[in-house]
Structure 1
Amino acid sequence: MTKPSEVIFFENLRRGDVALVGGKNSSLGEMVQELDALGISVPPGFATTSAAFRRFIEENGLNAFIAGQMDKLASGKITLHEAGQSIRAAIGSGDWPEETAAEIVAAYRDLSNRAGKTDLSVAVRSSATAEDLPDASFAGQQETFLNVVGEDALLKACRDCYASLFTDRAISYRNAKGFDHMDVALSVGVQQMVRSDIGGSGVMFSIDTESGFDKVVLIDAAWGLGENVVQGAVTPDEFQVYKPFLEDRKLRPIIERKLGAKEKKMIYAGASDAGPVKNVPTSKAERESFVLSDDEVLELARQAAIIERHYGLPMDMEWAKDGETGKLYIVQARPETVQSRAQSAALRSFKIGEHGSTLVTGLSVGEQIATGTVCLIEDVSDIDRFVDGAVLVTSTTDPDWVPVMKRASAIVTDHGGRTSHAAIVSRELGVPAIVGCGNATHVLHDQQDVTICCAEGDEGFVYSGIADYEVEDLDFDHVPETRTKVMLNLANPSTASRWWRLPSDGVGLARMEFVISNTIRIHPEALIHFDKVTDEDVREEIERLTAGYPDKSEYFIDKLARGLSRIAAICYPNPMILRLSDFKTNEYADLIGGRAFEPDEENPMIGWRGASRYYDDAYRDGFALECRAIHRLREEMGFRNVKVMVPFCRTPDEADRVLAVMAEEGLSRGADGLEFYVMCEVPSNVILADEFAKRFDGFSIGSNDLTQLTLGIDRDSDRLSALFNERDPAVVWMIEKAIERAQAAGRKIGLCGQAPSNYPEFARVLVAAGIDSISVTPDSFLKVKDHVAAAESG
């Protein structure tokens, strides 16, 4: 009987061969066989089998030795470090069975011949037979060796992979997951190196790793070989792509582009260097440039969607770009193991209260809040001094840190992105983390009380002291159906995705000015007329923020379109009603460069704001940038669920002038389904509702401003705050009359003010009046939904 081969090329493997070649290698074989025709490129290679591993262990007489060491560890006779070190040493000194070594060398020569090389440079990766399972991620537990060249170097790297099955972290992880050490075998994948050392590489998820939003692809990218991204040794570029639009190649649905620091890159080492690879600092040009073009981002995202569709579940992938050919390769694909298993029916909502000063910031991971005392550890050799329940602060983590990470209340690192080791493990453990802070180990110190807040969007904050915060469990299992649409008020793109599971009818109010003030930060006129900005400090700040944008106006358009797209994405295909910028003059002046372009007003609350700005020569070109961002959002990115709402429109004549300006900028009512709404917040909007209804497709009642102008109260006045009441009979009359007149004219009407959020019982008044929709803050959505259902049932 012929002995089964102990080496198998990828093209002869399938997804079901986990027991034979482990999760990583079986998945590579699946993609080579099934997805090559669909455009998924996997570097060629082969795998040693689990039988080869067991034969190596058996012929070197190691079975009894390993079992004995594990028994001693379990009984406390030796430490984890002693057990791992002794087993690794025994494997490292073992001899290859002659037939096994011959098969590996023959396959390597065959792979080299296919590539037209004598001694091909290969990556040698471990693939355990209990790896990449849907409920356990063993990724990173064993070793990878890059730029391995020559037969002797390959055999040594394969043996070192075997030994890495018994690193301290791997032993610890199997113990935690309940795997028997003797039941797990190791396959070695030998794969042609992609020249990403002179290109780039990274990690990709077919799901949002923070919120579990399943309609985006998340891509991290850095220069050089990919180990730095996986290990969190660099802060990568980050991209998010909206999956449902990827099949339409006319659209470019990249909803986020964030430039990372990319502090260093891993490249091939020279002959005089100690190992086959080394890290070198990136150049200033590399740090200031994106690793991927938009076309490459979209190509990778399409590959992620194909892979996810084939496997039928969210996927975690690694990719590499060949610097010689520019070709993109998928070098690993495994099931995503955190968000794909998260309970979809419930959501915990964290809200920060009073807190101390901001100490450091970084990328938030986990959408939670935690408090504790800092335990600063800069080297893994010192982890024994970690205190249970402390906040772990360090430069970066790798699998050796897992034993203390699981005992931490939170984790803070200097380096890394959302797909770094620290981020991935913290998600799996359910521990909040802030990664890529840059200076956490310099600013924070041992025994310092801090609050770790990951509940305020993409940016995480380390606050001084122990802050107050609230936690609420939201249950989606028993949300009533209602005739009245209940929608969301949203402003912050970075927190929008956390609410995607809410069964809302769309976004009834998206506030453009939040993106302008928090992401863009620069007055649009200062970008258009940069030559008129004379303050040197302001000029320097504008130059810094717009780096990479030769046309400063494009900075405004690009940032605004992408920021708004992240809100549109979570509700698509339901509508997102986008309110045009509604800053007051003092708020516009506070934008960078704004003071040179804004007048001083005695009462900006009822001054030059809203519609009156859009057609005025002093702001007309600034408004044009808003229009161009909306046009890009709808036409180039594909979010035609976006409707446009004009705020503070005092007269029908003013409405005509605004609509004419928007038409000049390519936004015409009815074109490609575009609808225009008007805020109903000035008494004239109610009095002349019939005239406004001729110009707009719907109304949205702004209860704050309508209350202010109906009662004659400055809503910012502390002295009059007791009189400010959206439920005042005069205000209710105005609301009821607006609803009556809008419906008589055949127009939709909703309310997007704070009243239903602050006073959910106010929803009863609105339902009784026959309102079409109510827009509320996400944290009050479920309560308002219950009140609406109760009102509708009588």
Structure 2
Amino acid sequence: MARVQKTNDVRSDGDLVRDFEHLLRTDGPLVGGKNSSLGELISALTAKGVAVPPGFATTSHAYWLYVDANGVREKMGALLAEWKAGRATLSETGHAVRNLFLRGHWPKEVESAIRKAYRELSAKSGVENLSVAVRSSATAEDLPDASFAGQQESYLNISGEDTLLFACRRCYASLFTDRAISYRQAKGFDHMSIALSIGVQRMVRSDVSGSGVMFSIDTESGFDKVVLINAAWGLGENIVQGTVNPDEYQVFKPLLGHANLVPIIDKKRGEKAMKMVYSREQHRSTRNVPTSKAERAAFVLNDQEILKLGRWACIIENHYKCPMDMEWAKDGITGELFIVQARPETVQSRRDAAAAFKTYKVMNKGRILTTGLSVGDAAVAGHLCLIESAKDIDKFIDGSILVTEATDPDWVPVMKRAAGIITDHGGRTSHAAIVSRELGVPAIVGTGNSTYLLHTGQEVTVSCAEGDNGFVYEGISTITTQTVDLAGLGEVKTKVMLNLANPASAYRWWRLPADGIGLARMEFVVTNAIQVHPMALVHYDSLKDQKAKEEISRLTAGYDHKPEYFVDKLSHGFAALCAAFYPKPAIIRMSDFKTNEYANLIGGAEFEPKEENPMLGFRGASRYYSPHYKEGFELECRAIKRLREEMGFTNAVVMIPFCRTIGEAKKVADVMAEYGLKRGENGLELYVMCEIPSNVILAEEFTEHFDGFSIGSNDLTQLTLGVDRDSGELADLFNEQDEAVKWMIARVIAVARRKGCKIGICGQAPSNHPEFAKFLVEAGINSISVSPDSFVAVKKHVVASERA
């Protein structure tokens, strides 16, 4: 009853102005989506710790009073009719309608109500002529099928009653910018039935700190267990407009309730080349200035602030019962965090979650021309059209791939006609990213150099189908698509898991009904995210290779202790993989580089011997207890310990590769325990790769030291048949389905089942030959792990085999 009464609590000066605290989200027809949502946040979630700056909103009644007092309604209708009839251009029409508002006068009662509300807000804040943000909130805004991203204007750092009234008049006029008229026309909204509410909110002093945007869902894959946070220095408009490349943080929602955990999956430091601050100029309330080197090198938020925002995102999402798009700001004077806007997310949450989805594969790739953040998961090939300024958008060629520095709402008409989009600047929450998602157009944002490197007419392929990173390839590649129907796959006893290595693409597969990750390869994370040999980090000061030393210094900037760089990057890389299918197991194979591969890492040549046959040399378990690598293995163990105990991903299972003897198994277990990873403690399971004949011959003995086997069919085939798997001359002899190999596999499965030890296969055989699954099921295997593109085919074979 109290909530209903609060909705009807009208101010003494009528229905013209409402304090946010007297609004609920059901008041959208009165004050628009943005303002009603702010009221809902304050009234419903303040008690739960979500901080929102106070303010007030003008109502739709105030808008219509202004319209009618100035005779705008009839004139506006006539102007729009002329445009629809083709007798006036969009530009002419928009300019004429805006002038009707800008030249109007305030009805006495509306002006009085705004002045009074502003004085009261200033008095509550204890500041005369309080600095406020003035934002537009259309009564059709933030609907489930339309985001209206950036369609109306916002004015920041507005101070004084007269200045406020002028900004409010400009807000009314912005309801009829060219882009807003065009957007409503495309969406089928009646221009004459939409009113505009103005939100006036106390400014958060983020000009001397930072601000940003966050989503309670992964914006590209729709993965619903993460909060995505973007952050930049200064006021938040630069992030929304895509004029800076921001920091990006990912937080894992299921573990946020544990006060002793830090479930931050990823932290990427953005360039943050400029920041928006208050302006002292008379006719300009804000301005952009370059950031300092220290600001560019630092993260905007610390871990506790990231976690706080993540928890707020969960509280807001749970209250609204849908994924949310939020804006936040940090006050640099008080250090407080605030939510300044919240609205339903309108793209991923509306995707067809039934069980079909389309996957794209790019083949015959040309050389990489540039990279950035991928938006969407599609790929497209075609000709480029480089447009440097919005005033030249009429030169855009329909169906081409747009290349520009950044987009704002003026670019929407062109974006709708583009096959793909590439920008120099912007993060995942920039205008270019938001609109591209809504339009279903693949985009690569934040490349940093696309307008410099690319040119109009150039043939390229834009690939957003390879994870978080988007690639622009030279030439027209072959693009294939596959629609995967997940609904009819059926239930099976044999677990079907995934082989994954790239953390950036982990979320892409979260909708697959996989039973976890059967193989997560450490080498991929080390090669791509770390790039440095772990021993070169441990012994950085004594490195002889000066070029390597300089490169390591550049990569580890911001880390006081070089080895911490390895631990941090590795733990975060595996966190994304563990999160994708949490709480199902993610089996992480410790490093299995060969010496020649290790030597190719930065600084690696000084620590690796030269071997005639690295495939059978110093690799796998033998390295972990050796004085030549033991310090490097310590970093691997520290990363896994952090992953499990500090981040909370206890679904991480450790697997030891190329363990030749029982003696080695004991030595490795002792070294791991020395570094804080003891089998059985905190639920830690320890697996071994079964890829050497000795693993099969002594299978019973190995079960005493490990909780599970994972068959590596590639190496097992190589060593069983005596065939170099990389030899082109012997390719016809390398056959994972050879009877000798199948005998080895069937025997180790039988021993494992008899001893109550888990056993699966993570080798390539089931992915290459899905029918191989029939043999494995009949042999009694517990799990089959395959590449994602083979998952459906293998699962169908498992279903058929079990039913047979």
TM range (shorter): over 0.9
The CA distance in 1 between the partners of 2:615 and 2:735, in whole Å, is: 18
For each residue in 1:417-475, what CA deviation from the matched residue of structure 2 results, as whole angstroms up to 9, or x when unmatched? Answer: 00000000000000000101111111101111111011112111111111112111111
State the partner residue of 1:34.
44
Matches within 5 A, 1:579-728: 579-728=589-738
User: Equivalent residue of 1:472, what SS?
Assistant: strand
TM-score normalised by L of structure 2: 0.98
State the partner residue of 2:468.
458
The CA distance in 2 between the partners of 1:325 and 1:287, in whole Å, is: 22
For each residue in 1:237-276, what CA deviation from the matched residue of structure 2 results, as whole angstroms up to 9, or x when unmatched? Answer: 0000000000101000000000000010000002x46401
Matches within 5 A, 1:323-402: 323-344=332-353, 345-402=355-412
Whether 2:302 is the aligned partner of 1:293: answer yes
State the partner residue of 1:525.
535
Pairing partner for 2:442 from 432, 449, 459: 432
Range 297-306 or range 3-12, more displaced: 3-12
Range 729-738 or range 468-477, more displaced: 468-477
Range 739-748 or range 157-166, more displaced: 739-748
State the partner residue of 2:6.
none
Check whether the contact 2:77–2:192 (CA below 8 A) recurs between aligned residues.
yes
State the partner residue of 1:4.
14
The CA distance in 2 between the partners of 1:633 and 1:71, in whole Å, is: 62
State the partner residue of 1:447.
457
Pairing partner for 2:526 from 516, 519, 533: 516
The CA distance in 2 between the partners of 1:628 and 1:433, in whole Å, is: 37
The amino acid across from 1:84 in the alignment is G
Matches within 5 A, 1:723-762: 723-762=733-772
The CA distance in 1 between the partners of 2:372 and 2:757, in whole Å, is: 46
Pairing partner for 1:131 from 113, 126, 141: 141
The CA distance in 2 between the partners of 1:196 and 1:384, in whole Å, is: 37
Range 363-372 or range 310-319, more displaced: 363-372
For each residue in 1:123-178, what CA deviation from the matched residue of structure 2 results, as whole angstroms up to 9, or x when unmatched? Answer: 00000000011211113100000000111100000000000000011011111111
For each residue in 1:576-606, what CA deviation from the matched residue of structure 2 results, as whole angstroms up to 9, or x when unmatched? Answer: 1111110000000010000000000000001
Pairing partner for 1:489 from 499, 503, 508: 499
User: Equivalent residue of 1:104, what SS?
Assistant: helix
The CA distance in 2 between the partners of 1:574 and 1:358, in whole Å, is: 36
Whether 2:169 is the aligned partner of 1:159: answer yes
For each residue in 1:296-327, what CA deviation from the matched residue of structure 2 results, as whole angstroms up to 9, or x when unmatched? Answer: 00000000000000000000000000000110
User: Equivalent residue of 1:455, what SS?
Assistant: coil
Pairing partner for 1:117 from 108, 127, 144: 127
Deviation (angstroms), 1:3: 7.3
| RMSD (Å), alpha carbons | 0.9
User: Equivalent residue of 2:611, what SS?
Assistant: coil
User: Equivalent residue of 2:703, what SS?
Assistant: helix
The amino acid across from 2:701 in the alignment is E
| Equivalent residues, number | 793
The CA distance in 2 between the partners of 1:184 and 1:275, in whole Å, is: 29
Whether 2:551 is the aligned partner of 1:541: answer yes
User: Equivalent residue of 1:577, what SS?
Assistant: strand
The CA distance in 2 between the partners of 1:782 and 1:443, in whole Å, is: 40
State the partner residue of 2:188.
178
Matches within 5 A, 1:547-566: 547-566=557-576
State the partner residue of 2:292.
283
The CA distance in 2 between the partners of 1:522 and 1:622, in whole Å, is: 11
Deviation (angstroms), 1:348: 1.1
Matches within 5 A, 1:142-291: 142-270=152-280, 272=281, 274-291=283-300
TM-score normalised by L of structure 1: 0.99
The CA distance in 2 between the partners of 1:95 and 1:414, in whole Å, is: 42
User: Equivalent residue of 2:358, what SS?
Assistant: strand
The CA distance in 1 between the partners of 2:319 and 2:335, in whole Å, is: 25
Structure 2: segments with no counterpart, 5+ residues:
1-9
State the partner residue of 1:308.
317
User: Equivalent residue of 1:228, what SS?
Assistant: helix
The amino acid across from 2:239 in the alignment is V
CA distance 1:458–1:273, shift in 2 (3 Å): farther
Pairing partner for 1:97 from 80, 93, 107: 107
The amino acid across from 1:250 in the alignment is N
The amino acid across from 1:66 in the alignment is M
Deviation (angstroms), 1:532: 2.3
The amino acid across from 2:653 in the alignment is K
For each residue in 1:214-250, what CA deviation from the matched residue of structure 2 results, as whole angstroms up to 9, or x when unmatched? Answer: 0000000000000000000000000000000001010
User: Equivalent residue of 2:53, what SS?
Assistant: coil
Pairing partner for 2:96 from 86, 89, 95: 86
The amino acid across from 1:329 in the alignment is F
Range 141-150 or range 531-540, more displaced: 531-540
State the partner residue of 1:412.
422
Check whether the contact 2:379–2:461 (CA below 8 A) recurs between aligned residues.
yes
The CA distance in 2 between the partners of 1:766 and 1:144, in whole Å, is: 62
State the partner residue of 1:576.
586
Pairing partner for 1:75 from 72, 85, 102: 85
User: Equivalent residue of 1:125, what SS?
Assistant: strand
Matches within 5 A, 1:468-507: 468-507=478-517
The CA distance in 2 between the partners of 1:228 and 1:530, in whole Å, is: 39
State the partner residue of 1:319.
328
Deviation (angstroms), 1:5: 2.6
The CA distance in 2 between the partners of 1:58 and 1:537, in whole Å, is: 72
Check whether the contact 2:168–2:198 (CA below 8 A) recurs between aligned residues.
yes
User: Equivalent residue of 1:460, what SS?
Assistant: strand
Q: Alignment identity in percent?
A: 64
User: Equivalent residue of 1:765, what SS?
Assistant: helix
The CA distance in 2 between the partners of 1:590 and 1:78, in whole Å, is: 65
Structure 1: segments with no counterpart, 5+ residues:
none
State the partner residue of 2:794.
784
User: Equivalent residue of 2:470, what SS?
Assistant: strand
User: Equivalent residue of 2:770, what SS?
Assistant: coil
Check whether the contact 2:13–2:113 (CA below 8 A) recurs between aligned residues.
no
The CA distance in 1 between the partners of 2:241 and 2:547, in whole Å, is: 38
State the partner residue of 2:7.
none
